[in-house]
Amino acid sequence: MTVETAQTHQVLLRERFGDILLATLNRPQKGNSLNTELIDAIGSLSTDLNRPDGGYAEVKALIITGAGSRAFSSGADITSLVGLDENAAIAQMRHGQQVFDALENAPQVTIAAINGVALGGGLELAMACDLRVAAPTALLGQPEITLANLPGWGGTQRLPRLTGQGRALEMILTGDPITAAQALTIGLLNSLGDDPVATAFALAEKIVRHSPTAIDAAKQAVYLGERQGIRQGLEGEAALVGRCCASPEQRVAVQAFLDRKKPK
């Protein structure tokens, strides 16, 4: 693959490979821990993905990984928690939640390529992506309970939706990490790969062949039902199918299918 454009941020690297964007958390000496600067950089990236004029109109997939081989992200930078009072802690959690929500709501498919440990906020970031692939050696966990706290960037909400309530509560209440193989078994991961970035690219390349309108609509329908229940989800699903049927891509795809079925 050839990099068409590259943008470097001090803590977040962006590299463009055609219609796939690779973002790399770039604090390897700190386990790619999520300090305020890195959270804000992810927020800026999410904003760019969500804006029609954000410079990524042709991007259909985002892959997020960590620099180095040790960590996807070891979680929130613990130094940022020192001295927080209740109101400041609430504000910090809401900011992180908003950044991860914006990432989840991006019209592109987003894939976490977990190259090492994904703990605490690092796992919460991975869960805010649509899909997750990991190296067999990766460890995943929510260890906040060991610091007399709980996940605050969406972990208590996204983890049970992926794994089921019982398994999520076990991870959250014990703080014990699980292996990549265990995470795959319980539905927290989609697949394993010795080179998770390459695995993520292969998955992204399968998805981006399809209509970007349909990709966005499928994401919206799934998340709508998850957040608001099946009745609203079904209504949204019907409306989104209608939107797709009105799109040029859908009409071209249907006609191409019919043409293939015509007798030779």
Active site residues: 124, 144
How many angstroms separate the first and last alpha carbons of the chain?
A: 38
Residue 67 Ramachandran class (φ > 0 left, ψ -120 to 50 alpha, else beta) = beta
> Are residues 61 and 19 in contact, defined by beta-carbon separation less than 8 angstroms?
yes
Residue with token string 């799109």: 247
Return the SS3 of 85.
coil
Q: Which H helix or E strand runs over 114?
A: strand 109-114
> Are residues 225 and 234 in contact, defined by beta-carbon separation less than 8 angstroms?
yes
> Are residues 203 and 131 in contact, defined by beta-carbon separation less than 8 angstroms?
yes
